[in-house]
Chains A and B, each alone.
Chain A
Amino acid sequence: MSTPTRTPTGAPEHLTGPGSGGVGDDAQRPDGVLKVRGEFAYGSDLWMADMLWGVTLRSPHPYARIRSVDTSAALATPGVSAVLTSDDVPGEKVYGLELADQPVLALDVVRYQGEPVALVAADHPETARLAAGRIHVDYDVLEPVTDARTALGHPTWNQVHDSTAEVTELSRESAHLHPEGNLVRHLKVRTGDPAPTADVVVVGEYEVGMQDQAFLGPEAGLAVPAEDGGVELHVATQWLHVDQKQICAALALPPEQVRLTLAGVGGAFGGREDLSMHVHACLLALRTGRPVKMSYNREESFFGHVHRHPATMRYEHGATRDGELVYVKAAIYFDGGAYASSTPAVVGNGGTMGIGPYVVPNVHVDCYGAYTNNPPCGAMRGFGSVQTAFAYESQMDALAAELGMDPVELRCRNAMEEGSATPTGQVIDSPAPVAELLRRLEAMPLPAASGDGEVDLRDMPGGVSNTTHGEGVRRGVGYAVAYKNVAFSEGYDDHSTARVRLEVVGGEPTATVHTAAAEVGQGLVTVEQQIARTELGVERVVVHPKDTSVGSAGSTSASRQTYVTGGAVKAACEKVRAQVVARAERLVGRTVPDLRLAGGAVVSDSEDITVPLADLLGDDVLEETLEWRHRPTEAIDPETGQGFAHVQYAFSAHRAVVDVDTELGLVKVVEMACTQDVGKAINPQAVVGQIQGGTAQGLGLAVMEEILIKDGKVRNPSFTDYLIPTILDMPPMRIEVLEYADPHAPYGLRGVGEAPNISSGPAVLAAIRAATGLPLTRVPVRPEHITGT
């Protein structure tokens, strides 16, 4: 950790820092012991003696009309309790996060390979699978649309700089996927001179493949029918209340009859924002009157959640001879796949932040999200910003080369800082140390050159496959910087709810924190405890199970929970604390201005007052529940994109060092270095963990991770063929964490999780370009892109 250069706001110093278990400490996670003992109950671990297993029959075709479905043979299979189709969905037959356009079970048309068509419940998962195979679906197979620009009627880049292109009309004419047309959203950013000119112009086209979240814990949960005719669902998810809302609509049940509890979540990364088995398990449980467990295997998981949008992008950068950016024009196409999911918000991010953390006076961006017959795409860590970062950072390198400038120098010269205006006209009103992040990376020592001393194959591209002893291996170094909005944007009422209780249990003052905020592995449960310890001065903090018996916490996404749910917990603690202090003042009979809570007591520094909470509270329970909101954002202008769209930005930068075997096209990432401003590290160890993990996912997209699609069909739905980085692929990392407080945020903190996932991949790509001298405009980079064979 580097030395904080500004003091964070709001945190009482004496209750924070190392060893306190409070804010700023490397407090250990409360679920850690269970997890290392194998006793933590993930969604797929749930079990009841009389439970059934549910499985899903999915469409083999990316686009087809369903003529008929015959379930009789499946129903006749011994051990089968129920077979359901869309006819058995009692309520709304379509659902969705932002637009309800996705069938719970296929209606008359399937629009992607893997679309759920029918469900089976049986006494053994293999019986259920066998029976699902006996469901006869008669398909009329149709020609799929598998390219976003084709779907929108943009076969060429002609429309790129033509602001008058009537995209909606074009897509309506070819609207055979969705009745309203194939355009999900078109976002325009217009600022400055519409026809700018510049001394130096670089144009590039870029492509980003479809990435998978590849969380290890599969989609899973257990639905239990309740005596009141409702259902209890235990499920691994990211936002209990948005699930509940959609489940209620599908089941035609009120919220009080659909009660959700968070099961253990084995990673999420955006892939659990949309419903997967939620409604399906509830339908089967309500039909059979028995608990139903569903747990996808890995292949089904690839079909069972949305992916990161693939993108095609064209950028034009204009600059002065001495490296000042004059304008950026960009056309960004996101392939949203068959259903909307969170494509509108992904387009929002891609468009508003699509030129990177730079100050540019003239900006013209068109960002599109389209329906196709590819798998649905939605949320993944970095959310619309990962794709554009590959393009804008590649452009900055291309511009630097054209200008004969150092790439870091060019970036620093145009870097945003506090007080800068974004292309959407928002003045950044908290620290934005973009240049410093880059300069700090530059100052870090570089790793030793390969081939110094004896060759260790394990350090070579290709490793112990013994493909080179250094022949044809070239080193490259690349830099990238990125930014990302934190929390929900564009006027969304983004809030969280916290209930905090303080009482004496077994003689010990104990706080209980109850929120519905999903813990997905990132350590929010630890943060909740740390905040309560700091604010209430107690050691013992219980994190109540996450469920819908308390109000919504909003989604565990957009790097927002430490900020928003953390803010809610802090505010609820403050209300409880006010009650405690008032009691203490009643006890001493007067007002004492500096009363505070520490060490399980109410104390004063100026006077000799120590009132143990155990004495002060007795058998009383103090409880406060509140909703907490960050300051509001606003919708952007539909024609110009101008507006206060984002509440906070997170900034990170990476330097990648790679060795490339230029003869075989193999890449060995030698080292990753990262600098990130986190405002205030609530749990420094967890912050570093987020940076390391995010870096790995960005590296993965740069060099190996892609869902390969041909004619709308997924060709690699397994961990055999979809590769994620192993411990051999990941290099050592150097990390510097800066803490420049955001005065608007609780403790000055900044959301952490996504930024490092955005800047790492472009740095790796830049390093491979530096090593090879190739333009490399597509990720993931494959060996043949390097060898040209």
Chain B
Amino acid sequence: MRLTCTVNGTEQHVDDVWEGESLLYVLRERMGLPGSKNACEQGECGSCTVYLDGLPVCACLVAAGQAEGRQVGTVEGLADPEALHPVQQAFLDAGAVQCGFCTPGLLVATHDLIARHGRPSDAETREALAGNLCRCTGYEKILDAVRLAADRMAEPTAGGDR
């Protein structure tokens, strides 16, 4: 089948998509956007978290056809080329990136969390990110990164694009 959707603001047309393919597969293998990760492909780990019409979803659980005509946002679209979003910068500064395989999904989920909550409490952060597994960090530095990003984004001078 042919799939048409908008990914990170750019309209994409892909041909010969097999109906059984997930949005994750199409992003990674057909659109050259492997940033969203394939850690479990069963909706348990959150590594493939993307925006679908503005809502965070596991791309592995979205059939490719379900994305037809819709807006998809991935980690590759969080910031302009050559720039980093404050959430990305905070993950680096806090040391929240080790192997990095969970990072793209956590960035999208954190981006969404801060957009909704501004400065989330730790308890809110833990609830919001409970669907994103990380095996390297023990999550402490991820919490540090969320606090750092939220603080920076709340201060207009230190912010950046939100």
Binding site for B on A (CB under 8 A): 26, 28-29, 31-33, 35-42, 44-45, 47, 124, 126, 213-218, 264-269, 295, 297-298, 456, 458, 464, 520-523, 685-686, 688-689, 692-697, 718-720, 724-728, 730, 732-733
- Contact call A28/B92, Cβ cutoff below 8 A: yes
Query: From A684, which residue of chain B is reached at the shortest CB distance?
Result: B95
Known: A726-B139, A727-B139. 17 other contacts (CB 8 A): A32-B92, A33-B92, A37-B84, A38-B33, A42-B101, A44-B37, A216-B45, A216-B47, A216-B135, A266-B37, A267-B98, A298-B40, A520-B99, A523-B98, A693-B98, A718-B44, A719-B44
Query: How far is it, in angstroms, between the C-alpha of A268 and the C-alpha of B135 when the chains are bound?
Result: 10
Given known pairs A45-B34, A732-B140, the reply for A727 and B95 (CB within 8 Å) is no
Given contacts A32-B97, A218-B39, contact A689 B88 (CB under 8 A): no
| With A40-B100, A718-B40 as contacts: A726 and B141 at CB distance below 8 Å | no
Shortest distance in angstroms between B22's beta carbon and chain A's nearest beta carbon? 11
Known contacts A126-B20, A218-B39, A727-B139, A36 near B98 by CB under 8 Å: no
Cβ contacts A to B, 30 pairs, < 8 Å: A28-B92, A29-B92, A32-B92, A36-B89, A37-B88, A42-B101, A47-B29, A47-B34, A124-B18, A126-B20, A215-B99, A216-B133, A216-B135, A217-B39, A217-B99, A266-B101, A267-B99, A267-B135, A297-B38, A298-B41, A456-B123, A693-B138, A719-B133, A724-B133, A727-B125, A727-B134, A727-B143, A728-B126, A728-B130, A730-B138
CA distance A47 to B31 in the complex (A): 11
Within 8 Å CB of A692, what residues of B? 137-141
Q: How far is the CA of A730 from the CA of B84 in the complex (A)?
A: 28
What residues on A are CB-neighbors of B79 within 8 Å? 37
**What's the Cα separation between A213 and B133 when bound, in Å?**
13
Chain B's closest residue to A53 (CB) is B29
A756 nearest CB neighbor, chain B only: B138
Contacts of B88 in A (CB 8 A): 36-37
Residues in B whose Cβ lies below 8 Å from that of A718? 40, 42, 44
Closest Cβ of chain A: how far from B27's Cβ, in Å?
10
Query: In the complex, how many angstroms separate the beta carbon of B9 from the nearest chain A beta carbon?
Result: 15
Interface residues as binary, B46-79 with A (CB distance below 8 Å gives 1, 0 otherwise) = 0100000000000000000000000000111001
Q: Flag B113-142 by CB within 8 Å of A: 1 or 0 each.
A: 000000000010111011111111111111
Nearest 4 CB-CB pairs, A to B? A38-B35, A521-B99, A266-B101, A35-B100
B35 in contact with A37 (CB, 8 Å): yes
Contact of B130 with A726 in the complex, beta carbons under 8 Å: yes
CA distance A730 to B32 in the complex (A): 35
**CB distance B42 to A298 under 8 Å?**
yes
8 Å CB contact of A730 from B132, B136, B140: B140
The CA of A38 and the CA of B37, in the complex, are separated in Å by 9
Cβ–Cβ contact B76 & A37, under 8 A: yes
Residues of A within 8 Å of B36, CB to CB, are 38
User: A-contacting residues of B (Cβ < 8 Å)?
Assistant: 18, 20-21, 28-29, 32-42, 44-45, 47, 74-76, 79, 84, 88-89, 91-93, 95, 97-104, 107, 123, 125-127, 129-143
| B44: nearest chain-A partner, CB-CB | A719
Distance in Å from the Cβ of B2 to the closest Cβ of chain A? 17
Q: Is the CB of B40 within 8 A of A29?
A: no
Residue of A nearest to B76 (CB): A38
> A216-B135, A266-B39, A692-B137 in contact; A727/B101 too (CB < 8 A)?
no
Q: In whole angstroms, how far apart are the Cα atoms of A31 and B92 in the complex?
A: 10
Chain A residues with CB under 8 Å of B133's CB are 216, 719, 724, 726
Q: Are B142 and A727 in contact (CB under 8 A)?
A: yes
Chain A residues with CB under 8 Å of B137's CB are 689, 692-693, 696
Complex Cα distance A31/B103, Å? Answer: 13
Selected contact of A216 from candidates B37, B76, B125, CB within 8 Å:
B37
B74 — nearest CB in chain A belongs to which residue?
A: A38
Assembled-state Cα–Cα distance A33/B89 (Å): 8
Q: Please, how many angstroms separate the alpha-carbon atoms of A179 and B91 in the complex?
A: 53
Query: Nearest B residue to A699 by beta-carbon distance?
Result: B138
Option from A31, A215, A298, A688 in Cβ contact (under 8 Å) with B95: A688
- Which residues on the A side are within 8 Å of B39 (C-beta)? 216-218, 266, 298
Give the complex CA separation of A493 and B148 in angstroms.
45
Q: Contact: B138 with A733, CB < 8 Å?
A: yes
CA of A694 to CA of B134, assembled, Å = 12
Given the interface pairs A36-B88, A724-B135, the reply to whether A685 lies near B95 with Cβ below 8 Å is yes
CA gap between A36 and B127 in the complex, in Å: 22
**Interchain CB contact (< 8 A) of A689 among B18, B21, B98, B129:** B98
Among B44, B93, B139, which residue has the most Cβ atoms of chain A within 10 A?
B139
| Contact status A266-B97, CB under 8 Å | no
Nearest Cβ distance between residue B19 and chain A, in whole angstroms?
10
Partner of B141, one of A40, A268, A298, A689: A689
- With CB as the reference atom, state the residue of chain B lying closest to A266: B101
Return chain B residues, CB-CB under 8 Å to A126.
18, 20-21
Q: Whole-angstrom distance between the alpha carbons of A771 and B141 in the complex?
A: 29
Name the residue on B nearest A700 (C-beta).
Answer: B135
Q: How far is the CB of A504 from chain B (nearest CB, A)?
A: 26
Complex CA–CA separation, A728 to B143 (angstroms): 11
Give Cα distance in the complex from A184 to B143, angstroms. Answer: 44
Contact among A39, A44, A216, A732 with B99 in the assembled complex (CB-CB below 8 Å)? A216
Give the contacting residue for B135; candidates A35, A214, A295, A458; CB below 8 A. A214
Instruction: Please report the C-alpha to C-alpha distance between residue A35 and residue B32 in the assembled complex, in whole angstroms.
Output: 16
Q: Measured between alpha carbons, how far is A726 from B41 in the docked complex, in Å?
A: 17
Which A-chain residue is minimally distant from B96 (CB atoms)? Answer: A689
Q: How far is the CA of A694 from the CA of B98 in the complex (A)?
A: 13
